[in-house]
Amino acid sequence: MESFLIKALQFIIALAFLVIIHEFGHYIFARIFGIKVDKFYMFFNPKFSLLRYNPRTNKIGLFVRQGDEENNTPDKAAVTFTIGKEHPAPSNGKTSWRDTIYGIGWVPLGGYCAINGMIDETNQKMSEEEKPWEFRTKPAWQRLLVMFGGVLFNFILAILIYAGIAANWGAKYIPFEVATEGFDFVPAAQKAGFRNGDIPLMADGVKLDAADGDYMLKMVEAKEVTMLRNGKDTVTIAIPKDFIFRLNDEKGFMAYRLPVYIDRLVPGEAAAKAGLLEGDHIVAVGDTPTPSYTELTPALVANAGKEVDLTVERDGNRVTVPVTPNEFGKLGFQLRPITDV
């Protein structure tokens, strides 16, 4: 139940934020063109408002019951207080932000901006005499911008949100020169001559760059690819003409090999009991080197349920730690993300 309430509250807050931005788009264009805005509300307020503020009188009302204009029944607030002096409307008829009643309704499903001189869900009546501050008296291009303002502001908001996401969690990539463990390749690629641990250098003589999102496509479509093998040898692999079709049955082509760094330990599991530490770099299981997670998994499964020595790099030194994987060959730790290694 608590989880449901939290999610419901998150939904209401998100919806309120989007609606306020949308309605503010209508509001700001109306104000730019001198159109009077009667009300600006977050959430709907049928018969009742949680809060209402009148900038002309500088009065704030809490729990306001809406009156009846036809019967001349005034609005009634449970609590009213003043936060400043009154600001009478100017005699020249010029409108300002103080002509708008601002409030919060009690139905958290949206909001609205009531524009004077526009027939919509907030206003179904209109005086016969046209006023210069009414929506209907403005040129067509101004009326279009007022109506389009909400969509425009939501579009700008989307751009800002995505820009923020890109700035904070934007695309991360690993330059080939620091990917010391190289790549793992699918069987079809290995049959063509690639080897696990190879690092791409060039495709048809053109240097490959990890920042280029199409570097794998360039390799697949090239006639020959130059790779760095064993950290020192340069090899050239001729790419078969039908290579891209051979990869159709495979899941991908190649992937970075993940060095085994411990990010977090699971309390009470084998790794924690053995004294392994967060930040440890596991380089061997018994006599089997484990330059990447690809080699670690089968090595641990082969020693499931029995004690084996792990070789670990810690603070620049190599240490040996006896550990007993569980019956599934698991030690109980979380791997450090490759972009953090």
The DSSP line for 170-189 is ------GGG-TT-EEE-HHH
Same-domain pairing of 208 and 313: no
Q: What is the pLDDT of residue 299?
A: 92
Instruction: Name the domain count of the chain.
Output: 3
Same-domain pairing of 131 and 15: yes
For residue 265, what are the CA distances in angstroms to 192, 233, 253, 261, 278?
A: 39, 37, 32, 11, 7
Q: What is the pLDDT of residue 301?
A: 93
Question: Among residues 155, 149, 125, 144, which one has the least CA distance to residue 38?
Answer: 125
pLDDT tens digit at each of 341 positions of the chain: 677 888 888 988 898 899 999 999 999 999 999 999 999 999 999 888 999 999 999 999 999 998 776 667 788 888 999 988 888 888 777 888 999 999 999 998 888 999 998 877 666 567 778 888 899 999 999 999 999 999 999 999 999 999 988 887 767 778 888 888 899 999 999 999 999 999 999 999 999 998 888 899 999 999 999 999 988 889 999 999 888 888 887 777 899 888 999 999 999 999 999 999 999 999 999 999 998 888 999 999 999 999 999 999 998 899 999 999 999 999 999 999 888 87
Q: List, as one string, the DSSP characters of 109-172.
A: EEEEEEETT--BTTB----SS--TTSGGGS-HHHHHHHHHHHHHHHHHHHHHHHHHHHHHH---
Same-domain pairing of 139 and 13: yes
Measured CA angle at 265 (ends 262, 267), to 5 deg: 165
Q: What is the pLDDT of residue 341?
A: 79
Distance CA 253, CA 218 (A): 12
Decide which of 256, 283, 300 is a domain's last residue. 256
Please indicate, yes or no, whether the overall pTM of this predicted structure exceeds 0.75: no
Measured from the Cβ of residue 125, the count of other Cβ atoms closer than 10 Å reads: 6
For residue 254, what are the CA distances in angstroms to 135, 295, 301?
A: 61, 16, 24
Same-domain pairing of 33 and 162: yes
Structure tokens at 105: 């309704």
Structure tokens at 243: 């290579």
Q: What is the pLDDT of residue 165?
A: 86
Same-domain pairing of 76 and 17: yes
Structure tokens at 64: 């306001």
Q: Which secondary structure element, helix H or strand E, spans residue 15, and what is its range?
A: helix 2-32
Structure tokens at 45: 């307020």
Which residues pair with residue 256 across a beta bridge?
A: 183
**Rounded to 5 degrees, what are φ and ψ at 307?**
-70, 140
C-alpha count within 13 angstroms, C-beta hemisphere, residue 235: 16
Decide which of 204, 222, 256 is a domain's last residue. 256
Distance CA 49, CA 116 (A): 20
288: CATH:
2.30.42.10
Burial tier of 128 (Cβ tally within 10 Å: 0-12, 13-18, 19+): exposed
Same-domain pairing of 180 and 224: yes
Same-domain pairing of 17 and 112: yes
Structure tokens at 250: 């495979």
Same-domain pairing of 234 and 117: no
Same-domain pairing of 219 and 122: no
Can you say whether residue 182 is alpha, beta or left, with left for phi > 0 and alpha for psi between -120 and 50 degrees?
left
Under 8 Å CB-to-CB from 258, ≥6 apart: which residues? 181, 292, 293, 294, 335, 338, 341
Decide which of 230, 256, 282 is a domain's last residue. 256
Same-domain pairing of 241 and 274: no
Number of residues that this document lists for the chain: 341
Distance CA 54, CA 57 (A): 6
Same-domain pairing of 181 and 229: yes
Instruction: Tell me the residue range of the domain where 32 lies.
Output: 2-167
* Residue entry with tokens 């009302």: 61
Same-domain pairing of 10 and 63: yes
Question: Among residues 179, 93, 85, which one has the least CA distance to residue 133?
Answer: 93
